[in-house]
Homo-oligomer: A and B are copies of this chain.
């Protein structure tokens, strides 16, 4: 009297719901420093690249479409966290450059994000956390 091999009713839904909840928590915490998850992700890539990147590179590294980056950078620019600059090597290209305010927000945001990660996953012990990672890798390989 056990589940049939292919029985996963509700599990996908449960996983997607959990992700939504966790994401909402992270967004709420980040909003205290004027950031969202997508904005923090963009600033992180900029920071890793040493302050600036062509928009097309940013799109590639965030695995999204270019038009998305155009608009995300619009919002970051409105926030004063990023500014656009010319790319001397290619006049078609535009550079997203982190401003001092952007770096400050990034540093605070990165701290908050890590703390949120610890808080949300603090229920799991070492074994559970490792198991979770292995399950994620397995599913990611299948779906990716």
Using a CB–CB distance below 8 Å, which chain A residues touch chain B? 2-3, 5-6, 8-9, 11-23, 25-26, 37, 114, 116-118, 120-126, 128-129, 131-133, 135-136, 138-144
Contact = CB atoms under 8 A, between A and B. Distances in A.
Given A11-B136, A18-B139, A18-B143, 14 more contacts: A5-B125, A8-B118, A11-B117, A12-B26, A12-B120, A15-B22, A19-B20, A21-B140, A25-B143, A120-B143, A123-B141, A124-B139, A128-B138, A132-B135
Query: Can you list the 8 inter-chain pairs with the closest CB atoms, starting with the nearest?
Result: A19-B19, A12-B117, A8-B121, A123-B142, A21-B143, A6-B118, A14-B136, A8-B117
Contacts of A126: 2-3, 5
Contacts of A132: 11, 15, 135
